[in-house]
Amino acid sequence: MGKPTGFLEYKRNAKKRIDPLERIKNFNEFYIPLKAKERKEQAARCMNCGVPFCQSGMILSGMATGCPLNNLIPEFNDALYKDNLENALSRLLKTNNFPEFTGRVCPALCEVACVNGMDGESVTVHDNELYIIENGYKKGLIKPQPPKVRSGKKVAIVGSGPSGLAAADCLNKRGHEVTVFEKNDRVGGLLMYGIPNMKLDKKVIERKIDLMRKEGVEFKVNCDVGRDISAQEILQNFDAVILCCGANQPRDITAPGRDCDGIYFAVDFLTKNTKSLLNSNFEDKEYYDPKGKNVVIVGGGDTGNDCLGTCIRHGAKSVVQLEMMPKPPLQRTENNGWPEWPKILKTDYGQEEAIAVFGADPRVYKTTVKEIISEKGKLKALKTVQVEFSEGKLCEIENSEKTIDADMMIIAAGFLGTKKYVPEAFGAELTQRNAVKTEDGKYKSSAEKVFTAGDMHIGQSLVVRAINEGRRCAKEVDIFLMGYTNMI
């Protein structure tokens, strides 16, 4: 390493956020990048640890840790420290098609597994990655690189989320003709409409899609496969098909009174919000407006947090976030040691903003909705109850019921697999968990020349895992088409 003692000389210095009360005034990204000298110092903290768990991509105790893409982290950190940014970029792009996405939205599994984090503070791998790719764009190092030779094979990809885009990028670079079908009006899937703009500016996605178009990838939007175009037509015109439609069947709330107005799924709430922002800066009013309303968000994950930040920006009167699980500890417990994913309390940007605006953490733990109260068909209040797990079952705690005001409820309780009409159209079997069925470690479905990748294959997961899925699936498709592959 260029600076073997860097981890002893420099303290961790993560990128700063704009003050919560200032950043909620708009839907812009709110991180403040470090200066070049400071970023080099952060890269210098990457030690010559011998075994870089950061790039391992392991599953420990059922949880992911280390980079699923096996990014060459010590190598690009070393090049960044030595100011060889072109080399750093080449090492980064060798394993990651979209560091401009992961550098913004990835929960940094690499940092969880960093050896520095075992008894200190991990390297700012996530921030370093984003700096390298954005510097590449700024310096003109990112240019269209269409393949010099075409294979004559045609691949259709259904869905333009992170797995679909990764597969498209890899197969196009290999020389195959790739067409991506997207049911929405813009390319990006989850990246475009499942993640709000302040977390991932949509110009970043459009910049990459424009590059991919120039490299030869064809995108067809407003094209819902199985409805606007038949599966049979695609099978007739393409040599291979990859289904990357995500796990977008939301889990519902079944409490009495569910059928009243004012209740929305998180995916619909976020989609309409981003569409309205991009189409008219909200002037078209084509979104679910929480302004002046008492909002209850059911679900405490990343999606619930994104809904929370969105509601605060629109001027919600109050926001409560219900979580069924107990409040996590502040520190790792003895049975949750490094390098496992730390099951500790995380206060994300949305909760930070709620604390700044309302003066208290919006999360209420061990609580769920028991009854939905309406007035003239519109949501008026929620009756909640505290719960706990006993002998593997979720049980209500006696005398713990409360009634809270609610003009809007957003359900962010996860997903129940993929919607069935696309795989059914292609004749692909599903598992009991509504994922496309394949052999373990494989991507070929039960249908002839039909493959799958991403959340549609493994269930709801992370963007970085979806990219990895797309890359691995592309490799398998390449072998199917050519009889061999030279993909990494």
Q: What is the CATH number of the domain that holds 225?
A: 3.50.50.60
Q: Count of domains in the chain? A: 3
Residue 254 lies in a domain: no
Q: Which of 394, 411, 428 is the last residue of a domain?
A: 411
* Residues 328 and 444 placed together within one structural domain of the fold: no
* Residues 180 and 277 placed together within one structural domain of the fold: no
Phi first, then psi: give them for residue 323, nearest 5 degrees.
Answer: -130, 130
Residue 487 lies in a domain: no
Residue 401 lies in a domain: yes
* Residues 420 and 393 placed together within one structural domain of the fold: no
Using the predicted structure, report yes or no on whether residue 2 has a pLDDT greater than 80: no
Question: What percent of the chain has pLDDT above 70?
Answer: 100
* Residues 106 and 178 placed together within one structural domain of the fold: no
- Bridge partners (DSSP) of residue 364 are 322
- The residue among 72, 100, 83 whose CA lies nearest residue 36 is 83
Task: Please tell me the distance from the alpha carbon of residue 348 to that of residue 300, in angstroms, as a whole number.
Answer: 11
Residue 273 lies in a domain: yes
CB 349 within 8 A of CB 17: yes
* Residues 11 and 116 placed together within one structural domain of the fold: yes
| Dihedral, 181, 184, 188, 191 alpha carbons, nearest 10 | -140
Using the predicted structure, report yes or no on whether residue 81 has a pLDDT greater than 80: yes
When mean pLDDT is compared across 48-52, 134-138, 254-258, 358-362, the lowest value belongs to 48-52
For residue 131, what is the enclosing H or E element? helix 125-138
Q: Read off the pLDDT band of 3 (50, 70, 90).
A: confident
Residue 148 lies in a domain: no
* Residues 471 and 364 placed together within one structural domain of the fold: no
* Residues 375 and 281 placed together within one structural domain of the fold: yes
Residue 144 lies in a domain: no
Residue 220 lies in a domain: yes
State the residue range of the domain holding 294: 263-411
Q: Read off the pLDDT band of 390 (50, 70, 90).
A: confident
* Residues 66 and 119 placed together within one structural domain of the fold: yes
Query: pLDDT (tens digit, 9 = 90+) per residue, 426-438?
Result: 999 999 999 999 9
CB 436 within 8 A of CB 473: no
**So what's the pLDDT on residue 488?**
86
* Residues 241 and 270 placed together within one structural domain of the fold: no
Mean pLDDT of the chain: 96
CB 172 within 8 A of CB 212: yes
**So what's the pLDDT on residue 60?**
93
Using the predicted structure, report yes or no on whether residue 391 has a pLDDT greater than 90: no
Task: Please tell me the distance from the alpha carbon of residue 105 to that of residue 398, in angstroms, as a whole number.
Answer: 40
Q: What is the CATH number of the domain that holds 16?
A: 1.10.1060.10
Q: Which of 138, 168, 190 is the last residue of a domain?
A: 138
**So what's the pLDDT on residue 169?**
98
Task: Please tell me the distance from the alpha carbon of residue 324 to that of residue 388, in angstroms, as a whole number.
Answer: 8
Query: pLDDT (tens digit, 9 = 90+) per residue, 118-130?
Result: 888 999 999 999 9
Q: Read off the pLDDT band of 50 (50, 70, 90).
A: confident
- The residue among 346, 379, 377, 378 whose CA lies nearest residue 363 is 346
**So what's the pLDDT on residue 217?**
98
Task: Please tell me the distance from the alpha carbon of residue 119 to that of residue 113, in angstroms, as a whole number.
Answer: 12
* Residues 363 and 434 placed together within one structural domain of the fold: no
Using the predicted structure, report yes or no on whether residue 1 has a pLDDT greater than 80: no
Task: Please tell me the distance from the alpha carbon of residue 19 to that of residue 356, in angstroms, as a whole number.
Answer: 9
**So what's the pLDDT on residue 48?**
78
Q: Which of 76, 107, 138 is the last residue of a domain?
A: 138
Q: What is the pTM of this model?
A: 0.96
Query: pLDDT (tens digit, 9 = 90+) per residue, 178-219?
Result: 999 999 999 999 999 999 999 999 999 999 999 999 999 999
* Residues 269 and 387 placed together within one structural domain of the fold: yes
Residue 255 lies in a domain: no
CB 44 within 8 A of CB 124: no
Query: pLDDT (tens digit, 9 = 90+) per residue, 336-349?
Result: 999 999 999 999 99
Using the predicted structure, report yes or no on whether residue 422 has a pLDDT greater than 80: yes
Q: Read off the pLDDT band of 238 (50, 70, 90).
A: very high
Question: What percent of the chain has pLDDT above 90?
Answer: 95
Query: pLDDT (tens digit, 9 = 90+) per residue, 246-274?
Result: 999 999 999 999 999 999 999 999 999 99
* Residues 407 and 274 placed together within one structural domain of the fold: yes
